[in-house]
Amino acid sequence: MDIIRAILDGIAMAAIFNGSAAALVIANPRYLMDSYPKGIQKAAPEPMSKKEKRVNKIFTVIVMGACWLYGVSSTLYGGIHTFKLLFCTAYIHWIIVNFGDFFLLDCLLFQKWTKLIVIPGTEDNPIYQTKNWMKVIGIPEHFLLWPFIIVPFFSLVQTGIVMLIQFLFSF
């Protein structure tokens, strides 16, 4: 396993995900409203419309698909064949995406440029304050949920896909 390659691939995947998410949330925060804390979602004057949900689903499929495709194809061409090394490579990819999300979106975008991402009608919600944001979503999501549940699951799936392709096509 080439750890430098795994880290660089993780950074590339994080750039794809976080760059796309930042662009979409700046364009219209309501498109990603389901990713905001429940307190902000409930404070919004109206729930997500069908159009907003559709944009969210399309965004998720395209961006996550691009991340999966990048991670799988890079790992395939990295010449890794054992389950343990494939899993570790995938874990590195996805944990970097997670921490990129935390530092770039939660810390930088949401806390430094809050005015760009406030959902209309929720401007004075106290959850937007850094301490509350981190307590409600930042820390639980990025230091508990993702590292111990989401990243291992994504890593298993990515490992399985790579192993299946290697088996079927003699990679």
- Residue 118 φ/ψ, nearest 5 degrees: -70, 130
pLDDT at 111: 86
pLDDT at 102: 98
Q: Which of 73, 94, 85 is nearest to 150 (CA)?
A: 94
Q: Are 80 and 89 in contact (CB under 8 A)?
A: yes
Q: Identify the segments of the chain with pLDDT beneath 50.
A: none
Amino acid sitting at position 18: N
pLDDT at 30: 97
pLDDT at 133: 94
CA distance 140 to 103: 14
pLDDT at 171: 76
pLDDT at 82: 97
